[in-house]
Amino acid sequence: MDNLKRALWMFTRTVLFRPSFHNWYGWRRMVLCWFGAKLGQDVRIRPTALVEIPWNLNIGDHVIIGDYAILYSLGTITIGRGAIISQYAHLCAGTHDYTTRHFPLLKPPIVIGEEAWIAADAFIGPGVTVGDRAVVGARATVVKDVLPDQVVIGPAATFLKPRELRD
């Protein structure tokens, strides 16, 4: 049954989601909700964003998902209110257990905190929590939790400095 549901989603994504006009955010929200996504108010998902399994999405109010972002939601992906997922960012809630020959699929959840920013082309690995108001710099690779109000950068997502808000 799950395979049938995924096949139906893939068809719908190709026919109704992706070819929609760039500012038809309400339409894309409705299509995702048909497939069980839990979306807050004023969620803006670009038509080129790739959502793997919408029923594993929990997205708060006023979230923006940029062009070509990948929400690989084999496990649950939760995105807090006011967060921004920039273009080409990749949230990967799936991996394999490499310690066994059977290489079973694992589905650790990802949590993106409120008002966090995942910058362009950043990668968020399985099981990672990015805290409220944290910033993940462009092309960073994050495989460990990021604390609230931190800015991380680089291929190993090295801590740069605490985030200080001006307003």
Q: What angle do CA 84, 129, 30 make, to 5 degrees?
A: 45
Per-residue model confidence (pLDDT) at position 58? 98
CA-nearest of 110, 55, 106, 47 to 83 is 110
Looking at residue 148, its amino acid is: P
Token output for 44: 């803006």
Token output for 67: 């062009």
Averaged over 20-39, what is the pLDDT? 96
3-state secondary structure of 78: strand
Per-residue model confidence (pLDDT) at position 159? 82
- Are the C-beta atoms of 89 and 71 separated by less than 8 Å? no
Q: Could you state, in order of their start, the residue ranges of all structural domains in the chain?
A: 2-161
Task: Given CATH 2.160.10.10, say whether it is the number of domain 2-161.
Answer: yes
Prediction pTM value: 0.92
Task: Work out the mean pLDDT of the chain and round it to a whole number.
Answer: 95
Q: Kindly provide the b/e burial profile for residues 142-154, where b requires at least 16 CB atoms within 10 angstroms of the residue's own CB.
A: beeebebbbbbbe
φ, ψ for residue 53 (rounded to 5)?
-135, 95
Q: Is the pLDDT of residue 157 over 80?
A: no
pLDDT digits (tens, 9 = 90+) for 68-81: 999 999 999 999 99
Contacts of 59 (CB under 8 A, 6+ apart): 37, 38, 39, 40, 43, 65, 78, 79
Percent of the chain with pLDDT over 70: 99
Instruction: Check residue 146 and report its DSSP letter.
Output: B
pLDDT digits (tens, 9 = 90+) for 86-144: 999 999 999 998 888 888 999 999 999 999 999 999 999 999 999 999 999 999 999 99
Averaged over 53-78, what is the pLDDT? 98
CA-nearest of 18, 101, 39, 109 to 72 is 109
Per-residue model confidence (pLDDT) at position 107? 97
Token output for 13: 């994504």
Q: What is the largest CA-CA distance in the chain?
A: 52
